């Protein structure tokens, strides 16, 4: 990995782009989940199906978009993805029918993944060089968390400004009018970030040529698919991503179990987003000073413990402090793992020039929770209303965290042995 070190603002643009592109399809629904269910007139299962449509399109996009990232400069792909995603926000702001909403999520599955995901990962590897992969991906995910938190806080502020009546008396039409402003402002910012990426996220021509292959051959794809790290990362990311998807329900938990109102529930979702940058930065620094795969194991263990706190049903509306402490524990584990799973690609002997192809193969399995996690959570919540349904969701998190921990342990042992044999 002999690439010239990219400037600091290169990573800053990646951070801005990396979260902005997901604001419309995911962050708003995470922060405003009760409001989204109301203004779009859908239930948890139907919203989960929208996420599944996104996931199905994304699945194909991962496979074909990965090699695309090895053929074209990341800057151009990322900018176009942001602009196309922002256009979808204009449709979202019309509060379309359920059928159109599903089509929109499919469209976002294409714009945010086919054109965006692998180029972002590859560009982050370039910035990290040979010595700072933990920092690169830790700062990326932590920074994305901060951007998401700021979007969430901005959204809550805008929403509250346009609610004129008492929160308990707010009508659906008032909520819809306020949320429309949140969507439109978010869409405008996403488009603006696309312009900044196009203008400023440039590399010198020699470095850019070294990152691009004129043609992706079957033998190169076969070479990547034979790497043990690719197969282990499929399992690690699948389990980690289930955990990340489950953080979507914390605002709903606040409403259903803790009995918070709409704004208070959204504030809980925003609070969670502010935890992410702190965890990302801390775990990135720690990982570069030791072994990244060790911290993957720790992250899964912490996530599993936090999930069990919720799953056992000890967190009720009378124990507010325990609720927030438990959120912090789950978030620490989930965000630590999310920050590091691509940071171990170098350790797993995945060639930089084939990063896009490798990310496409890994993501084909790793991000299948986009398809099944939403409906699974929706089914558990709708079939056991209230606290019981939420407990079932957190048992699901505990199981996947346990499996992910085993896969991370295998990755740790395999590449520790290889390091010993090479030394």
| Rounded Cα distance, 360 and 346, in Å | 16
Q: Is the pLDDT of residue 327 over 60?
A: yes
| Rounded Cα distance, 179 and 85, in Å | 18
82: Cα within 13 Å, side-chain hemisphere: 28
Q: Is the pLDDT of residue 264 over 90?
A: no
| Rounded Cα distance, 16 and 152, in Å | 14
Q: Is the pLDDT of residue 212 over 50?
A: yes
Start-end of H helices in 341-354: none
- According to the model, what pLDDT value does residue 356 have? 82
- Local confidence band at 213 (pLDDT 50, 70, 90 cut-offs): low
- According to the model, what pLDDT value does residue 209 have? 61
**Between residues 31 and 105, the one the model is more confident about:** 105
Distance of CA 124 to CAs 167, 231, 337, 367, Å?
Answer: 43, 21, 17, 19
Q: Is the pLDDT of residue 239 over 70?
A: yes
154-158, 326-330, 353-357: least confidently modelled range: 353-357
Smallest CA-to-CA distance from 83 within 203, 197, 181 is with 197
Q: Is the pLDDT of residue 69 over 80?
A: no
Q: Is the pLDDT of residue 273 over 80?
A: no
Distance of CA 106 to CAs 101, 112, 180, Å?
Answer: 9, 10, 21
DSSP string, 213-282: -S---HHHHHHHHT-HHHHHHHHHHHHHHHHHHHGGGHHHHHHHTS---HHHHHHHHHHHHHHHHHHHHH
Contact present, 268 and 125 (Cβ < 8 Å): no
- According to the model, what pLDDT value does residue 211 have? 61
- According to the model, what pLDDT value does residue 85 have? 97
Say if 3 falls within a structural domain. Answer: no
Smallest CA-to-CA distance from 118 within 76, 82, 65, 81 is with 65
Smallest CA-to-CA distance from 142 within 307, 315, 286, 354 is with 286
Print burial letters for 74-89: b (CB count within 10 Å at least 16), e (below 16): bbebbbbbbbbbbebb
| Rounded Cα distance, 79 and 86, in Å | 11
Among 65-74, 84-93, 116-125, 288-297, which range has the highest average pLDDT?
Answer: 84-93
- According to the model, what pLDDT value does residue 88 have? 97
CATH number for 360: 1.20.1250.20
What are the structure tokens assigned to 285, written together? 């620094």
The separation between CA 105 and the C-alpha centre of its own chain, rounded to angstroms, equals 15
Q: Does the pTM of the predicted model rise above 0.75?
A: yes
Q: Is the pLDDT of residue 39 over 70?
A: yes
* Number of structural domains found in the chain: 1
Average pLDDT over residues 46-74: 85
- According to the model, what pLDDT value does residue 101 have? 96
Q: Is 135 exposed, middle or buried (0-12, 13-18, 19+ CB in 10 A)?
A: buried
14-23, 93-102, 373-382: least confidently modelled range: 373-382
421's CB contacts (< 8 A; 6+ apart) are none
Say if 2 falls within a structural domain. Answer: no
Q: Is the pLDDT of residue 3 over 60?
A: no
- According to the model, what pLDDT value does residue 371 have? 82
Q: Is the pLDDT of residue 299 over 80?
A: yes
Say if 1 falls within a structural domain. Answer: no
Average pLDDT over residues 267-294: 83
- Local confidence band at 358 (pLDDT 50, 70, 90 cut-offs): confident
- According to the model, what pLDDT value does residue 2 have? 47
Say if 374 falls within a structural domain. Answer: yes
Tens digits of residue pLDDT in 228-238: 999 999 999 99
Among 205-214, 218-227, 313-322, 324-333, which range has the highest average pLDDT?
Answer: 324-333
- According to the model, what pLDDT value does residue 98 have? 95
Say if 388 falls within a structural domain. Answer: yes
Contact present, 153 and 270 (Cβ < 8 Å): yes
**Between residues 261 and 294, the one the model is more confident about:** 294
Write down the mean pLDDT value for the chain.
Answer: 86
DSSP string, 33-44: HHHHHHHTT--H
> To the nearest whole percent, how much of the chain has pLDDT over 90?
37
**Between residues 415 and 178, the one the model is more confident about:** 178
Distance of CA 218 to CAs 215, 222, 224, 228, 396, Å?
Answer: 10, 6, 10, 18, 38
Say if 270 falls within a structural domain. Answer: yes
Say if 92 falls within a structural domain. Answer: yes
DSSP string, 64-86: HHHHHHTTS-HHHHHHHHHHHHH
| Rounded Cα distance, 254 and 45, in Å | 19
- Local confidence band at 1 (pLDDT 50, 70, 90 cut-offs): very low
Say if 285 falls within a structural domain. Answer: yes
Average pLDDT over residues 343-368: 85
- What domain range includes position 247? 8-210+218-422
What are the structure tokens assigned to 172, written together? 């659906």
- According to the model, what pLDDT value does residue 65 have? 83
Smallest CA-to-CA distance from 54 within 17, 89, 18, 106 is with 106
Among 46-50, 73-77, 84-88, 263-267, which range has the highest average pLDDT?
Answer: 84-88
Q: Is the pLDDT of residue 300 over 90?
A: yes
Average pLDDT over residues 203-225: 68
Q: Is the pLDDT of residue 74 over 80?
A: yes
| Rounded Cα distance, 30 and 273, in Å | 10
Smallest CA-to-CA distance from 129 within 288, 276, 18 is with 288
| Rounded Cα distance, 121 and 18, in Å | 9
336: Cα within 13 Å, side-chain hemisphere: 28
């Amino acid at each position: 990995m002999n690439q010239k070190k990219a400037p600091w603002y290169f990573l800053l643009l990646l951070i801005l782009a990396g979260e902005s592109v997901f604001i419309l399809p995911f962050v708003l629904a995470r922060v405003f989940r009760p409001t989204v269910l109301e203004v779009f007139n859908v239930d948890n299962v139907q919203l989960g199906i929208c996420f599944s449509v996104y996931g199905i399109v994304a699945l194909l996009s991962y496979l074909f978009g990965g090699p695309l990232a090895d053929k074209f400069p990341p800057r151009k792909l990322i900018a176009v993805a942001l602009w196309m995603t922002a256009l979808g926000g204009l449709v979202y702001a019309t509060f379309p029918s359920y059928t159109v909403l599903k089509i929109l999520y499919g469209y976002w599955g294409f714009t945010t993944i086919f054109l965006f995901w692998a180029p972002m990962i590859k560009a982050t590897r370039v910035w990290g060089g040979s010595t700072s992969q933990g920092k690169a991906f830790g700062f990326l995910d932590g920074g994305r968390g901060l951007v998401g938190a700021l979007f969430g806080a901005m959204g809550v502020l805008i929403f509250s400004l346009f609610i004129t009546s008492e929160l308990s008396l707010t009508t659906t039409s008032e909520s819809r009018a306020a949320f429309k402003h949140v969507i439109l402002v978010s869409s405008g910012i996403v488009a603006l970030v696309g312009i900044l990426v196009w203008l400023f996220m440039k590399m010198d021509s020699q470095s850019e040529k070294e990152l691009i292959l004129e043609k992706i051959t079957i033998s190169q794809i076969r070479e990547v698919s034979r790497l043990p790290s690719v197969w282990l990362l499929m399992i690690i990311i699948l389990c980690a991503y289930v955990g990340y998807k489950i953080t979507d329900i914390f605002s709903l938990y606040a409403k259903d179990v803790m009995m918070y109102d709409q704004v208070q529930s959204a504030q809980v979702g925003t609070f969670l987003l502010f935890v992410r940058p702190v965890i990302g930065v801390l775990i990135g620094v720690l990982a570069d000073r030791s072994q990244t795969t060790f911290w993957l194991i720790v992250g899964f263990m912490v996530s599993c413990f936090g999930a069990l706190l919720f799953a056992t049903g000890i967190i009720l509306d009378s124990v507010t402090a325990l609720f927030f402490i438990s959120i912090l524990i789950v978030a620490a584990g989930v965000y630590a793992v999310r920050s590091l799973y691509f940071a171990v690609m170098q350790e797993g002997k995945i060639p930089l020039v084939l990063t896009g192809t490798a990310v496409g193969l890994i993501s084909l399995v790793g991000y299948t929770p986009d398809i099944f996690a939403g409906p699974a959570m929706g089914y558990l919540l709708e079939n056991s209303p209230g606290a019981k349904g939420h407990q079932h969701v957190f048992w699901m998190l505990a199981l996947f965290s346990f499996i992910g921990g085993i896969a991370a342990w295998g990755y740790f042992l395999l590449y520790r042995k290889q390091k010993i044999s090479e030394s």
